[in-house]
Structure 1
């Protein structure tokens, strides 16, 4: 390594030396060497003068500078685990990467600030055309051939794809990131999005034209000459996230997930097949974290494409067959994400409202009821109550086909206390309210069982033992309100219920319920 010189351009380093330093970052196999090299790069760039910036953005250095930035970014991208035969990862597998990424993001941020400062202090007239173009959706890089001091941002825009992969992989995943890298990633993303009104979707989908300013900068593929960052990232991920390779690329899988999750309708329409294939690969994995990732991506895809597009080529059918295999999973997070995704999918598959058009709705609803009835885990019981309510709302009067089982499940869930907030029992009351609202013409034969279970439930939560138990006062108040609303609905459906409730109110046996029944009558 060349020694520092006080008379050199970059505060101790000559222009070729700083470029050599940046280019050598990704070549170091040992983390300590990469970190020390990056620290020296950051230190040198922080002390750069405007003259140094001007030198780097001109020939013969601009081409090498472009390559040097590529090497720096490559150092922060975690390579695939090609020699590994098991694919369950922990933090120990990624030691050192958070520190490297922190330095890489700091270096890029400093370079962006220097270039922007140079633009701000330059001739406004000379840079007006650059400013107007940079703010448009289609960014044209400055071409070679003038003598102005317009700063050349091609080094940044041409490397944005890799930069966004790093940012996307670090914003949420905790295996290889830290609080510092998450903060820097978010800050750098805001810097890049400055002309896109804080919309990540708009930023990812804006068309960018690549016009290299030097012959030393590699030529891009013809189909990248005018393409969005979304297209570039998906094209980059296609092979590494294939069926045989994706498990070896956890870093790229996280970046892919972040990218797709931040793109809104209609920009996903051209990429449905690739997103579907990758998501289905995730779902087929044995690990819950990957199943959840795949389900979330498919749900996002369903919400950001048209139903017609998803029905083309039996796409929705393929997704349905894959999700059916997850119906019996006992992982909480899988269940929390699976049922809302299935509900959205069924709306695509069966958009009609008549009962004979909802065959799959009834099949899934029957499975959900069966699983809810036999479930003992409280956390999953809470999920089932929420999803049963949503499915009942969507099926409507068609739920009478399952009414006997529905009433039995509600009765069963009202009997078991569920901690201080009693979420499962609150969910059961909300489900009962929905059932009464949509299926009231067919409730007469179940009325006695419903009223009996409600009174038993009210006695349970308002008894002296319950007041000193684990149920919070807010939860008890909320459940009493729900029960009162349900009894008022039942009274409207069955007028003969009025004298029955009046007799209960006057009975000494149910003295604890007198204040509640008084509100109903």
Structure 2
């Protein structure tokens, strides 16, 4: 085994003449202490790379008793933390632009990570082997594992998926390392590793968040570009009922990330908030007004002009609104409008004036869920909702027709819930639906036949629902149209309405 680089880097000197010999220190601890000091001194990159590779070879070849006999867990924990910092992506200024994916600094970080990951792999293999040795066993290995688990997990989570600072080798090492770490902890999955095997058992999530806490503050979270990804990748593994005990640790960073000016960070933060909403009991969310804080943070995002963000926020709000309304009922608060009313009012205002197809599709896809959520109370918004429906039925939005399909579904929900108010709106709705049927039939564009069929089916169902709530008025009004129409496809739609009982 060639360890010349490591030997030259260490200062393993004996006592000089006349000096008292130092206290007996296990050789492995002496090596680890000096390597940690070497990396803390800020030496050049090339010597460190050689030392890391030599250290990996040393750990792989060394006897378990030599490595861990008398070794302080704190010493090994500090070395793992130092190596983790050495392999981390390059630091950046708080408001600096993101480094490009092919940046040389990120390429170098990926190489360092692959080498450090190999050291960690050899270390975990040795720890597993030491568990079965009589002179070491779990009493020696257990405290060491507890000390290194958190930093090793953060290293693996930093490099386990494709990022600008990873390459194929670093990702492979990180994936293997994560699997071995889960096995060493006696768990069957990453989720079990983080949250514990059962509700009463404490997992390693608290230790991981304790290490991330100092990097997830307002002044530091952007300095390490990997921090937000480690947090957002880890959080979904902790679900109900475990997540509620960590609410105070995960809610502030989620709000912090969602409040950034970059769209990608906003989306990342909102997804974290959505996971919290789905996996924390409503009582805990409403305590200390947390749910209201989350609601206002999400509501402010509705003024954005970015379709992916609006989509993420609306889906998240749909799961938060029932929690807020339940809390209002329990507190017997009399309010002229509910949070759902406030959101829908703003959404309809934006929909009415929106001309960008991407946003129109997002709004139209989400609108049926809001109508369903309000039920009969949708009558408070009928005037504006009618204008939106008429405007969206009129405009073709491309081959997939997502906006018109969504608005047809919203119209069906509206008719079902607010049917007593539909007869007076029958003339304008009937005209809009018939015009849309004709436009779809005569469309010579790129719209696929299955999409055309879905549009015609949706319009036909709306006509049937209107006929039911108007006591057959639609059949009467369509008699003349049906008898004079010569287009078979349009006649088929009208026939379904006429024959429906």
TM-score after normalising by structure 2 = 0.82
> Aligned equivalents of 2:368 and 2:248: distance in 1?
32
**Change over 3 Å in CA distance of 1:61–1:240 after alignment to 2:** closer
1:217 is matched with none
Matched, 1:298 2:273: yes
**Change over 3 Å in CA distance of 1:503–1:189 after alignment to 2:** farther
User: Offset of 1:97 from its aligned partner?
Assistant: 1.4
2:192 is matched with 202
2:469 is matched with 493
1:437 is matched with 416
2:124 is matched with 112
Q: Encode CA deviations 1:107-145: one digit per residue, 9 max, x unaligned.
A: 3223333443565xx57xx69x96xxxxxxxxxx414xx
Bigger fraction of residues in helix: 2
Matched, 1:412 2:388: no
1:142 is matched with 139
Give the one of 365, 377, 398 matched to 2:344. Answer: 365
Name the SS of the counterpart of 1:312 in structure 2: helix
Contact 2:117 2:174 in 1 (8 A): yes
Q: Encode CA deviations 1:318-339: one digit per residue, 9 max, x unaligned.
A: 2222223221101222212111
Would you say how many aligned residue pairs link Structure 1 and Structure 2? 465
> Aligned equivalents of 1:303 and 1:445: distance in 2?
40
> Aligned equivalents of 2:91 and 2:486: distance in 1?
70
Q: How does 1:119-130 map to 2 (within 5 A)?
A: none
**Change over 3 Å in CA distance of 1:251–1:4 after alignment to 2:** closer
Q: 495-504 or 447-456: which moved more?
A: 495-504
Name the SS of the counterpart of 2:242 in structure 1: coil
Q: How does 1:15-30 map to 2 (within 5 A)?
A: 19=32, 23=36, 24=38, 29-30=43-44
Matched, 1:73 2:84: yes
Give the one of 372, 376, 386 matched to 2:355. Answer: 376
Contact 1:170 1:181 in 2 (8 A): yes
Matched, 1:158 2:170: no
**Change over 3 Å in CA distance of 1:321–1:115 after alignment to 2:** closer
1:135 is matched with none
Matched, 1:244 2:258: no
**Change over 3 Å in CA distance of 1:239–1:57 after alignment to 2:** closer
Matched, 1:276 2:290: no
User: Offset of 1:171 from its aligned partner?
Assistant: 3.8
Compute the RMSD of aligned alpha carbons: 3.4
Matched, 1:390 2:390: no
Contact 1:284 1:291 in 2 (8 A): yes
Contact 1:386 1:427 in 2 (8 A): yes
> Aligned equivalents of 1:500 and 1:491: distance in 2?
10
Specify every segment of 5 or more residues in structure 2 that has no aligned partner in the other structure, as ranges.
7-26
Name the SS of the counterpart of 1:241 in structure 2: coil
2:4 is matched with 3
Q: Encode CA deviations 1:220-263: one digit per residue, 9 max, x unaligned.
A: xxxxxx96422222223333322233232332232222222321
TM-score after normalising by structure 1 = 0.79
**Change over 3 Å in CA distance of 1:481–1:36 after alignment to 2:** farther
Name the SS of the counterpart of 2:226 in structure 1: helix
Specify every segment of 5 or more residues in structure 1 that has no aligned partner in the other structure, as ranges.
6-13, 131-140, 144-151, 208-225
> Aligned equivalents of 1:493 and 1:159: distance in 2?
68
Give the one of 320, 325, 348 matched to 1:345. Answer: 320
> Aligned equivalents of 2:245 and 2:410: distance in 1?
39
Contact 2:258 2:270 in 1 (8 A): yes
Matched, 1:311 2:323: no
Q: Encode CA deviations 1:363-405: one digit per residue, 9 max, x unaligned.
A: 1110000111111111111111122111111111111111122
> Aligned equivalents of 1:179 and 1:388: distance in 2?
42
Q: 53-62 or 426-435: which moved more?
A: 53-62
> Aligned equivalents of 1:254 and 1:496: distance in 2?
58
> Aligned equivalents of 1:245 and 1:69: distance in 2?
22
Q: 303-312 or 168-177: which moved more?
A: 168-177
Contact 1:18 1:41 in 2 (8 A): no
Contact 1:34 1:100 in 2 (8 A): no
> Aligned equivalents of 2:158 and 2:52: distance in 1?
20
Q: Encode CA deviations 1:437-474: one digit per residue, 9 max, x unaligned.
A: 222222111122222111111111111xx2x4111222
Matched, 1:178 2:167: yes
Q: How does 1:45-64 map to 2 (within 5 A)?
A: 45=59, 48=61, 52-59=63-70
Matched, 1:327 2:317: no
1:94 is matched with 106
Q: How does 1:507-518 map to 2 (within 5 A)?
A: 507-508=484-485, 512-518=489-495
